[in-house]
Amino acid sequence: MAPFERHVFVCLNARPADAPRPSCTSDGKSELHTRLQQLSREAGLGATVRINKSGCLDQCEHGPTVVVYPDAVWYGHVQPEDAEEIVREHLVGGRPVERLRLADECVNTKSCPHR
C-alpha cells in the first residue's frame, strides 16, 4: 500500500467549562471528524487521505481546529457543514479553503490577537 498523501488532524480536545482556554469539543466527540471521514471515503480518497482524531493542537481560541499535512494548512472555527468544502476543494482539488484558513501570524504564536 502506498503511503498517504495527506493526513488531516481534527482536534477533539475537551476541557472543563471553567477552563481558561476554550475547547474544540464539549464532549471529546466530533461530528466534524465523522463527516470528514465519510466525505473523504465517498470522494474515493480512502487510500490516499487519512482523517485522524487529535488531542489539543494548541489553537484553542480558533477551535474547532483542523490541520492538513504535509500542506501545513491550518483551519479554524470549522463546523461540520464546512467538511464538504474542505474535501471538495482541498483534499480533492488541492486548493485550501481560504475563508477557513488561519492567518500565519495566529498559528503557534503567543502574539495572536485572538488570545
Mean pLDDT of 4-19: 93
Distance CA 61, CA 38 (A): 27
Q: What is the pLDDT of residues 17-39, one digit of tens each?
A: 899 888 888 777 789 999 999 99
Mean pLDDT of 91-110: 92
The total domain count for the chain is 1
Phi then psi dihedrals of residue 37, to 5 deg? -60, -50
Domain annotation covers residue 60:
yes
Domain annotation covers residue 75:
yes
pTM for the whole structure:
0.91
Domain housing 86: 6-106
Cβ atoms within 10 Å of 81's Cβ, excluding its own: 10
